[in-house]
Structures are given as structure tokens and as C-alpha cells.
Structure 1
Amino acid sequence: GRLGNAVLWKLARTTSHFDNSVSANNQWNRATILQTALMFFGLVAQMPPYVSVLGLCTPMRPGSSAQAPAKRDFRSLRVCLVTKGTNFDTVVRAAGAWVPLQNVPGVRFHVVLDDEGKEVEFRQALPSFVRIVVVPSAFAPSKARYKARALEFYRRNQQLSASDWVLHLDEESMIDAPTSWTRVSTSSRGPTWTSPWYVMSRPLPPPPPNPPLTESSKTKKGLLTVCARPCACVCVCQQGTLHYNDVNHWKNGFLTTAETLRSQEDFGKFSLSVRTRNRPMLGWMHGSWIVVNGAVENAVTWDTGCQAEDSWFAYNSSAKGYRFGWIWNTVHEQSSETFRDFWKQRRRWYTGILSIPSVLVQISLVVGVIGEFAYWVGPVYTHLGGSFVIPTWLYLWGLWHLAVDTHSLLVASFMQDLTAPAGVTWPQTVQHAAGTVVLAPFVRLVQVAALITCIFSPAQGFAIVSK
């Protein structure tokens, strides 16, 4: 902190030594060139606000390819939740949301347990229709470690084919069964997947705790609407929007704002590239609420030592030419419980992404995160006695940039509250939106610090946060 203040103070004193203004004949001097260059870099580095607005302006058309001919056969959907066993209650709660879906044809539910000693405990607590796949301690693939090791064992154990699909969920991922059920549309060839997936929320009344599913009801209600008419360009990887509002929603303003920033990214760098190019931008993909075809998993595998195995998988899948689609529905997750968990989680992500062998991926991460420091440079710099003298066009660009970022933050905060399972009142929604705007710069500053520490001291191991 002292070093940073010293650098900014020196910058302020140095630039003010030169005539810190643009002369009457619009001549540039060293100070104005330096300041303009720094501000220009800071604005360019923060491209996500622009792509977020573009994503919000892009129409959502989940049924746009409904008239296309059937192309892809379907054998099974395997819901895969990986756990180390430390968040026992969270896993049991997530599996409880699967109960209304247990009789859907072709859908199988698996909990992949990476601890042989906890199998009995989970077996006694989980519903009988949930199969526990235990990862043997002796399993040692050539590269895979941590969660990737469990996913790689699951891939080999399941003997996946092109007719199989895997829905990957995190421990805390909650499928909203009371409002959206699973429907499998059939054709003369049997159930088939669509691309992109048609995932539709319907304002249905809450179902009974364990409703009987007749053959007719199985084809009428749905969370995942599996249609028989995919578009011509088949997307074999899908990802959807995550809202971090299931548990701990606004119990801690800082931590909730941190997850709201992630929801903001869903509008932009996560979804826009997928929706316009059928490719994730530089491997940006969640590790949860993703659906992958079995043939793709076999071709790419999970055999990696990367701590951000989701980004590694997306980057390599895209490099091999596989097409991605977007799921038009949300899954609920939760924010971190403590600042320590938040810090460890960010450091693991940054360390993992920086280990991907792509200079472009590494530079984009560093520039994108460090660029967020621009929110602090101006106020601190002027507070220390400096002044910014910049061209009018750059000033207007900066204002527009701030307005765009604030707008997408407000939308993300509003959507998180609107879909919160526990419900949020309108006064609380306004309060949360204001709090998000105020706290976001502080969250970004901490994320900058986390990235810088990873550059000089990468995170070790695979930090498992409490949920």
C-alpha cells in the first residue's frame, strides 16, 4: 500500500513539474501524453463493459431453430456433480432438487466422490436413484490432478459416446425444479438433443414433493427442453447463465457484489462470443451448468494439471473446432462464505488460467484484470495533488465507459434479486443495486491484488471453499 501511494505521489509531483495543461495552441506536452496514454490503456483494457451491453442488446431467441430437421440421436443425459466430500450438506441439498426429475427417460444422476472413505456416509444420505461414482485413490492419469482427475475418471468409467451428454454441476448448483421441469420431446427416431438447447422457464404451480410422472406428463413439463429439431450447425458444448443468489445472498455485501460481477460477465465475455461465433472467447467457460457431448469429452479429455480445468477444456475444445451454444435458463449458486474463501478461489482461477499455454489467454487475463485498477488511479492521483488534462474525446469516452459499466452492473444486480429463490422486496432491490455500484471498485481492487500475487507466487493445490 505504501509503495503504491509513493509511486502515485511521485507521478503526481513529476507531471505537475511540467506545465500540466494543454496550451492555447493545443500543443501536447509530456504530462498530457503520459496521462492520455495511461487512461486510454485503462479504458481499452476493460472491454467487458462494452460486450456486456452488446450481449444485453442481442435478442434472446431460444426457439429460433425450432423448424430445423432432426439431426442428433440421444441415448442419455448424465448429471455429474463432483465433490471432495467436504461440503456434505450442500451436496445432499443439491441432490434433493433432482427428485422431481428422477423418472425422466434417459436421465441419470451421478455424484462423483473423490474420497473413498466417505462413500458410506453419502450412500446413506443421498436418494436411491443417485449413483455414487467413487474415484479410486490409485487412479493416476498422466497429467490430471484435483477436480480434473475426478472428471477424467468419470469420463473413462462411463464409456461415453456421441449419443451421450454430460451436464456438469458444482456442489451448490441448484436446479429450480418447482418452476421448470424436464421435458423430452420425442420423434420417430426417439429422443434427440437440440442445438442450441431450448431451456424454457414456465410459470407452473409448484409440484408436490414427489410427483408421479406418467408417460404423458414426462413429455409436457421441463427444465431442459430436449427438442427433436436442432439447427443445422450442431453445438456439442453448451453453457448457461449462473445466478449466485441461492444461499448467502447479501449476507455479506462485498462477497455478493463479487459474484454479481461474475453475473455481469455472463452478459458479455461468456455469452456474446458463444451466441455470435459459437466459440468461447479465449476459453471463458464456467465449470458448472455446462453440457458436453460424450464424443467431445473423449476427444479433449480432462487429463490436465490445470487448476482451472473448465477454462482449459473450453480453450482446447474450441481449438479443435467444436461449436458452443448457450442455454437459455439460469441455475442458482451461492457466493463465498468468507473473504478467505473468496481470495483462495480467485487465486486458484488466476493461477490455472495463467498456466494455459497461450500467450494471448495470459495477456488477456492480466490486461483485463489489471485494467480494473483504472477505477482507482484517477481518484487517488488527483487526491495526491495531481490533475488530469486530457482531450475532450477521451473525457467523453471515459464517461460513457463508466455509464456502460454501471448500467450492466445494475442489470446484473437486478436479475440476481429478481430470480432469488428466497425472494427480495423492491426496496431491498434498490438498496442492493446501489450497494453493488459502491462496492464494485473495492472488489476489483482485491481481484487485481490477487492476480498480482499469482504472477509472483502461484497458488498451490486446489482450494476447496466452504459452501
Structure 2
Amino acid sequence: MPLRADDWVLHLDEETQMDAYSLRACIDFIERQADADLGQGIIHYNAHDFWHAVLPTVGDISRVQDDYGRVAWQTNWARRASLGVHGSFLLLSGRVENAVGWETDVLTEDYWFCWSAMRRGFRIGLVPAIAREVSPRNLKDYSRQRRRWFTGIRAMGRPVGKLTLVLWCWRLLKPMYWAMSWHTTNQDARMPRWFFVSQLLCPVIERVFCAFGILVQDYDAGLTWSSMLMSQLLSLPMNMLLQFVDSYGIVAALLFPEKGFYIIAKS
């Protein structure tokens, strides 16, 4: 499209739901910001049939955590996005659209677009509002979605992307690590107890942020307090399972990369 430098395009997925507040936030971002060519908003996965597919819903909690953590920090303070952006609720100026374009064979085209824009010196800002989407409807689609992401990130060959995949694989080995650490500490005494105790902080912090991700989505969806408590209890046993599913997606992407887009069901 023949976009002008002062044109703006709001990218949305097919099921993304906006409201009056999020639209006003986009307009305000366009009118008031002075040093950003990209704007990224927060996404919740509670548009409709929330908690209908329990496992994918729990799995997408990590994406909400990421939005309130890494995404908010890099858009508010760093003004750089090292690990990509969402392809949805993404506000782009005509200047960056024209300079980068969307012609790519990479399966994670939003990750590729962000990386290309950052290389050209464009800066990103936060659109302080929420859009709402839907999680995949079953575990198969959830796993294939992740497998495509990881295939695309790996295909780009960036060191930070490869590091991300390694850290995600660690989620698969972490439960085994804790089991061995506990045995080593109590039986062979090869690991200092202070080190083992300090490592316990990691799952505690992870659990706190997981609880936060559940709370903000449940509250935003208007759930009752009893339902919100049930959500927290459901996530406890299922979060560990989803770590294995995510790690399986990485291993599958390494051994059997996706060849193209796989259309997943969200309704």
C-alpha cells in the first residue's frame, strides 16, 4: 500500500476484540508520542469461552506475564524489542511499514518484522490498553502453534533467539534437576544447602507471577471470586504439564521443523 510516513496501521488477529478504551489509547499514542514508530499493547486471552479449554488457557498465562513484564519494560524504558512483538494489537507507522515490509519466508513473521525494524533503528513504545483474544481450543493446536513459533525463531539464526530456545528447553529438564538436587543435598551432601535453598526462590517467583497472570485475566473477564479461586487451584497441577508441552514444541521444532502455517481452531 502507498502509505505515507504519518499514516498508522493497527494490526489485529482475526479474533482480536478491541473496545472504545483501547481504540482511544491507540489514537492518543499516535497524537502524543514523539519518538516511537511502533506501538505494542497488552493482550489477554479471555475474549469468549474463557477457561473452556483449560490446558491451553493455563499455557497462555505465560504470555500475559510476558506482556506485563518484558514487553512493558522494553516498550516503556528500553524502547527496543529484542525478543519480538505480538503480531496483534501492533500499531505501526507508515514509515516503518514501508521500510521493512512483510515479505518473508520466516514462519514467525511478527518476530522477523520486529527484528528487522530494530536493525533499522526504529523505536517502540507501549500502548497502555488491553485487547482480548482466544486461546487454542485443544492441546494439539496449542502444541502446533508453539512448534511453528520455535521453528521460525530457529530459522532466523539470531543468537538471542537460539538462547531463548535453550532456556525454554530448560523447562523440560528442570523437574528432573530439582529431584536430583534434593537427593544430592540430603544424601550425598555434594550441593551446599544455601545454594539449594536459594534455587527454591525461582519456582516461588514463577508461581507468584503465574498467579498474577491468572488474576488479571479473571478479573478482567468479570469472574466471581469463587471462580477466580478455582482458577488458581486448577493452574497448580497443570502448569507443570504445560512446561513439558512447551518444551516438546521446541524439541519437535529442532527435529521436525514446521514446513508452513498450520491453521489452529479458536472457536
TM-score by length of 1: 0.53
User: Whole-Å Cα distance in 1 between the matches of residues 195 and 22 of structure 2?
Assistant: 50
Q: Is the 1:248–1:335 contact (alpha carbons within 8 Å) kept by the matching residues of 2?
A: no
**C-alpha distance in 2, partners of 1:271/1:244?**
17
RMSD: 2.0
**1:248 maps onto 2:91 in alignment:** no
Aligned residue number for residue 356 of structure 1: 156
Sort the Cα spacing of 1:181 and 1:285 in 2 relative to 1 into closer, same or farther, 3 A. closer
Q: Which has the larger radius of gyration?
A: 1
Give 1 or 2: higher helix fraction: 2
Q: How many residues align?
A: 262
Equivalence for 1:237: 38
| Alpha-carbon offset, residue 412 of structure 1 | 0.4
Q: Is structure 2 residue 255 aligned with structure 1 residue 453?
A: no
Instruction: Give the structure, 1 or 2, with the largest relative contact order (CA under 8 Å, sep 6 or more).
Output: 2
**8 A contact 1:247–1:335 mirrored in 2:** no
Matched residue SS, 1:408: helix
Q: Residue in 1 aligned with 2:116?
A: 316
Confirm or deny: 8 A CA contact 1:278 1:325 kept in the other structure.
Answer: yes
CA distance in 2, matches of 1:251, 1:228: 39
Aligned to 1:12: none
Residue 160 (1) aligns with residue 11 (2): no
Task: Tell me what 1:293 maps to.
Answer: 93
**Counterpart code for 1:225:** D
**Structure 2 counterparts to residues 77-92 of structure 1, below 5 A:** none
Tell me, in whole angstroms, the C-alpha distance in 2 between the residues paired with 1:377 and 1:336.
28
TM superposition shift of 1:434? 2.2
Shift of 1:394: 2.0
Partners of 1:227 and 1:291 lie apart in 2 by: 9
Structure 2 letter corresponding to 1:339: L
List structure 1 runs of 4+ shifted beyond 6 angstroms.
Answer: none
Task: Return the alpha-carbon distance in structure 1 between the equivalents of residues 200 and 207 of structure 2.
Answer: 11
| Secondary structure in 1 matching 2:88 | coil
Matches within 5 A, 1:129-140: none
Q: What is the distance in 2 between the residues matched to 1:236 and 1:224?
A: 14
What's the counterpart of residue 428 of structure 1? 227
Give yes or no for the alignment of 1:174 onto 2:17.
yes
The CA distance in 2 between the partners of 1:246 and 1:228, in whole Å, is 28
- In 2, Cα distance between the equivalents of 1:434 and 1:311? 33
- Contact 2:10/2:89, CA 8 A, preserved across alignment: yes
1:347–1:451 Cα contact (<8 Å) kept: yes
> C-alpha offsets along residues 152-184 of structure 1, whole Å, 9 cap, x if unaligned?
xxxxxx21111101100001100124xx2755x
Alignment partner of 1:335 out of 135, 144, 152: 135
TM-score (norm 2): 0.91
CA distance in 2, matches of 1:453, 1:315: 24
Task: Tell me how far apart the structure 2 counterparts of residues 369 and 454 of structure 1 sit (CA, whole Å).
Answer: 12
* Paired letter, 2:111: S
1:31 is matched with none
In the TM superposition, what are the counterparts of 1:387-426 in structure 2 within 5 Å? 387-388=184-185, 389=189, 390-420=191-221, 423-426=222-225
Distance 1:181 1:442 in 2: 34
Asked whether the equivalents of residues 176 and 331 of structure 1 are also in contact (C-alpha less than 8 Å), the reply is: yes
Correspondence for 2:82: 281
Kept after mapping to 2: 8 A contact 1:269/1:281: no
d(CA) in 1 for partners of 2:39 and 2:22? Answer: 19
Listed one character per residue, the Cα deviations across residues 417-454 of structure 1 (whole Å, up to 9, x for unaligned) are 0111xx31101101102222321111011111110111
**CA 382–400 in structure 1, closer or farther in 2 if over 3 Å, else same:** closer
Contact in 2 for aligned 1:182/1:224 (Cα 8 Å): yes
Q: Is the 8 A contact 2:22 2:131 kept in 1?
A: no
Looking at structure 1, the residues matched to 147 and 46 of structure 2 have their Cα atoms a distance apart, in angstroms, of 22
- Within a 5 Å distance, the mapping from 1:173-252 to structure 2 comes to 173-177=16-20, 180=21, 182-183=23-24, 199=25, 224-226=27-29, 228-231=31-34, 234-252=35-53
Letter in 2 for 1:171: E
Aligned partner of residue 429 in structure 1, secondary structure: helix
Q: Structure 2: how far apart are the matches of 1:348 and 1:410?
A: 27
CA distance in 2, matches of 1:259, 1:181: 21
Cα distance in structure 1, aligned partners of 2:109 and 2:236: 31
Q: Percent identity, please.
A: 28
